Structure 1
């Protein structure tokens, strides 16, 4: 079976100079070809008709074509050859009669070229032809729209027409490295940047929670398979657990969150150097304490990050970001990622100076960056699986053994509000007295408990981190 599509490209493409325009069209056609190959198409062809692209294929890919960046609209069409207005109305009428039967309808006509009739003439004559079969004409709120595009002696009758995502074809505007937690904000930032033609690779920092990293990789796969046609992103995975330990012990409480951001910027600058044109972040002004203008400015200055930092959601409210997240299909997974555990959950400075931040940042060991970068792993999103991503699984546990001592690592207020039955608070225990016991640690979501379990393992304790943290424990008890 043959499917015919008429693709309206983003309005920017036809406006490009004659030198650069062919490159944009070639890239868009290459990306569309990837969609076709993914669906097993072996017989397809393209033709550029003025500013549009005509595609004939042996598979139905209408919905996926609408998700290719650079596509503004796409419709499945029938091609109708005609000799005059009467012939046109008669032939189009045969196609449209069953669509308008018993329904209110409107006729929309676009015409290109020289004809002895106008677009309005076609709409009037076709409307009069179809009206007896319908429930009447309604130009404001029709139940059915009959869309026709006339080009020379051919009319393109739209059987199905949907709106595309727009933007620029991926691969036309360089490469960027996206700081990617997998939470609600960073996937939206990555998607918006990719929509402008940028090839996005992901940089994810493992902060102690295997489940969070698995979820982040799942979100990266969602973006890749649903939107990033024409690109096989890399997923850079860096183990930050050792660095987090130093930040907690060496850096003043109120500076920890900003020092963490500064370290992430610095590591990103090292990884991106020479290979990327920009760094992308999911920061929105004032959304968190580390995302004030003062803190963002100081963090970038101290980090030494010289590449442009793209912040596509910087002016969006959380509700707007969530709306986009739902639209692109990442929200349901992203909402489970959560935030890193308790670097500094309160009393964070919102206006640090460059001098103050540099002083705190310099407290970290000189070789910390080198050691952290040695943990770097590079995966290809399209070809790697979750089993390739998850770090040491021997430390995490999904149940509470009968003889285990359960230890709550959250702050005392959270512990008093709710804790696992029989759990001890970490501030009130003598670890040496528990050396012969099985210890199960939990925090909010499993990040800090993973780090503490690793540290206790090094000291000879039989320690585990409960996967998912307190939230997961609560669900298991209900």
Structure 2
């Protein structure tokens, strides 16, 4: 018997003739993540198998697999030959260990079996019954409850036989890269990392653009964004961050444009710059953390203005969510604590006292014409710094 990880995928099962493409992308993601544990991966019938992981590395391996989009669930399992006596003994050993882990003298259980290999001589219902009887006979303190058991012993008969008691839920969704690539407008706040997470879950590979306004924003604020991208990359894989120097644009807007329009005109420039970088990097869409009505630049009228100045589609996965819902996701994906660190970002610089909430497109564009937009954007792009982040390092 050999310990290993049994990895399941979910939504990919719904694919038709292009299913092998999704399976291949997911396999590559699993292999890349398994390298740090010296594990090797095989594909089975509706499953992936991660083998050769050291016992001390198993918890970290389970955590890493559960963060890969496309994986529905993961189980630490024992793999063995398809011999009934060996399967029953493994099931009893698993049940005994599970009982001890519950710190109880007595507990209830049931057995669920799946016989994917129809050549196996015992069907699923009979296998469950026989294995349950063996467990009752060999593990004192257990009784059967098929409706509300304290735990379940699972048996799967496939290329080999697998026995396990735990199912760790994965992130679900689609493998990153299967839906193209998007450019995430990444601030230092709570919302944009969550937006990136949600679009990556739908198969979008991410790059990011961040606007910093040195010396009005600190080096520590810039580092905060890098840390957010690192935390996000645990789910998405490596992320390129395009660090755009935004100070000169903000100063020009502040000096020449009506105060109440400052935030929205800054947003217009952000969208235009992001689109230029996105097209250069073959991204098919922009991604923002905007939520309808949350702030002045996120009213329906304001979003209409910012949409009108670019050609690429804009994905706003948080558009119908309230702040508490967004915060819950941020906490779950471990970006929340970094997001609330008290370092300023460029959106907090030159904030008008009374920003316009129902802007007219023609008035905003008229104000934009007061600026040398092309020169300002070209200068900002020329000064852009590109950083690649992974969970382990920054390049």
Q: 2:115 & 2:246 partners in 1: Cα distance?
A: 59
Match of 1:291 among 298, 301, 312: 298
Secondary structure of the corresponding residue to residue 133 of structure 1:
coil
Query: What's the CA shift for 1:57?
Result: 2.4
Q: Which residue of 1 aligns with 2:25?
A: 27
Matched, 1:243 2:252: no
> What is the TM-score normalised by the length of structure 2?
0.87
Counterpart residue number, 2:339: 334
- The answer on 1:177 being equivalent to 2:183 is yes
Q: For 2:86 and 2:306, how far apart are their aligned partners in 1?
A: 69
Partner of 1:164: 170
Q: Deviations over 1:55-85 (max 9, x none)?
A: 222443222111111111111221233455x
Q: 8 Å contact 2:111–2:152 — kept in the other structure?
A: yes
Residue 235 of structure 2 corresponds to residue 220 of structure 1: no
Structure 1 gaps, min length 5: 389-478
Q: What CA distance in whole angstroms lies between the structure 2 residues aligned with 1:312 and 1:5? A: 32
Q: Given the alignment of the two structures, is residue 359 of structure 1 paired with residue 359 of structure 2, yes or no? A: no
Q: For the residues of structure 2 that align with 1:17 and 1:82, how far apart are their CA atoms?
A: 31
Tell me the secondary structure at the aligned position of residue 171 of structure 2: strand
- 2:109 maps to 1:105: yes
> Secondary structure at 1:142's aligned position in 2?
coil
Are the equivalent residues in 2 in contact too, given 1:105–1:142 (CA < 8 A)?
Answer: yes
With over 3 angstroms needed to count, the CA separation of the structure-2 counterparts of 1:236 and 1:384, relative to structure 1, is farther
Partner of 1:309: 314
1:135 Cα shift?
Answer: 4.7
Deviations 1:206-255 (CA, angstroms, capped at 9, x unpaired): 0231222110111111112x2223xx221101111111112222221221
Q: 1:320 aligns with which of 315, 322, 325?
A: 325
**Structure 1 match to 2:12:** 13
C-alpha spacing 1:38/1:46, structure 2 compared with 1 (3 Å): closer
Matching of residues 87-236 of structure 1 within 5 Å: 88-100=87-99, 102=105, 103-114=107-118, 117-131=122-136, 133-151=140-158, 154-158=160-164, 160-207=166-213, 208-210=216-218, 211-224=220-233, 226-229=234-237, 232-236=238-242
Give the Cα separation in 2 of the matches to 1:33 and 1:88.
28
Report what 1:376 is aligned to: 384
Aligned residues: 375
- Whether the 8 Å contact between 2:80 and 2:86 is mirrored in structure 1 is no
8 Å Cα contact 1:181/1:216 also seen in 2: yes
RMSD of aligned alpha carbons = 2.6
Q: Residue in 2 aligned with 1:81?
A: 81
- Range with bigger deviation, 68-77 or 360-369: 360-369
Could you state the TM-score of these two structures normalised by the residue count of structure 1? Answer: 0.72
Q: Is the 8 A contact 2:229 2:389 kept in 1?
A: yes
Q: CA deviation at 1:190?
A: 0.8
1:116 to partner: Cα distance: 5.4
Of 27-36 and 134-143, more deviation after overlay is shown by 134-143
Q: What is the CA deviation profile of residues 435-458 of structure 1, one whole-angstrom value per residue up to 9, with x for unaligned ones?
A: xxxxxxxxxxxxxxxxxxxxxxxx
Please tell me whether Structure 1 or Structure 2 has the larger radius of gyration of its CA atoms.
1
- Aligned pair 1:48/2:52, yes or no? no
Runs of 5+ unmatched residues, structure 2: none
CA contact 1:182–1:220 (8 Å) conserved in 2: no
Shift in CA distance, 183/50, structure 1 to aligned 2, threshold 3 Å: same
Contact 1:173-1:197 within 8 A present in 2 as well: yes
Higher relative contact order (CA 8 A, sep 6+): 2
Take 2:392 and 2:368, find their aligned partners in 1: how far apart are those partners? 35
The verdict on how the C-alpha distance between 1:83 and 1:384 changes in structure 2, with shifts beyond 3 A counting, is: closer
Conserved? CA contact 1:89–1:122, under 8 Å: no
Tell me the distance in 1 between the aligned counterparts of 2:53 and 2:117: 30
Partners of 2:277 and 2:146 in 1: how far apart? 56
- Alpha-carbon distance, 1:310 to partner: 0.8
Please tell me whether the aligned partners of residues 183 and 338 of structure 1 are also in contact (alpha carbons under 8 angstroms): no
Deviation at 1:260, TM superposition (A): 1.1
